Amino acid sequence: MKGVLAKMAKAVIMKFPLQGFIHNLYEEVKKKQDEILRKKTNFLYREAYRYYLDLYLIRTANERRVDLPAFLYEQGVVICSEAKYNAEKVMLEVIKDGRVNHCYTKRIKELRKRGF
């Protein structure tokens, strides 16, 4: 839906006499919005990865399975493929449903409530 509205807005803007200036302004705003959305998506992906990594580390500790030390995962030296897969799967659902902004604001509120 957003793509259709953007195309319609662009078509209206191009009819103005100052179309070059307005078009450039529109493109700059669009780039800034895309950059903000990208940053929010990256933040949510990192948070989802940390969540699934914690679940993985708890499960391996409970099962007394031999694995790499937890600090290697937490420092980012080693990537847990299971946590990465689950985080990617969740993020694809969030992006598909268009809930990036909603999830981002909820996560920020949760972190503020915890005192981060």
Buried b (16+ CB within 10 A) or exposed e, 78-115: eebeebeebbeebbeebeeeeebeebbeeeeeeeeeee
Distance, CA of 97 to CA of 5 (rounded, Å): 18
pLDDT of residue 67: 77
Residues 6+ apart with CB under 8 A from 72: 78
Q: What is the mean pLDDT of residues 16-35?
A: 80
Please state at what angle helix 81-97 crosses helix 19-63, rounded to 10 degrees. 140
* pLDDT at 1 > cutoff 60: no
pLDDT per residue over 74-116, tens digit each? 887 888 889 999 999 999 999 999 999 999 999 999 999 998 7
* pLDDT at 45 > cutoff 90: yes
* pLDDT at 10 > cutoff 80: no
Instruction: Decide: residue 4, CB within 10 A, 0-12 exposed, 13-18 middle, 19+ buried.
Output: exposed
* pLDDT at 46 > cutoff 70: yes
> Do residues 67 and 60 make contact, with C-beta atoms less than 8 angstroms apart?
yes
This prediction has a pTM of: 0.74
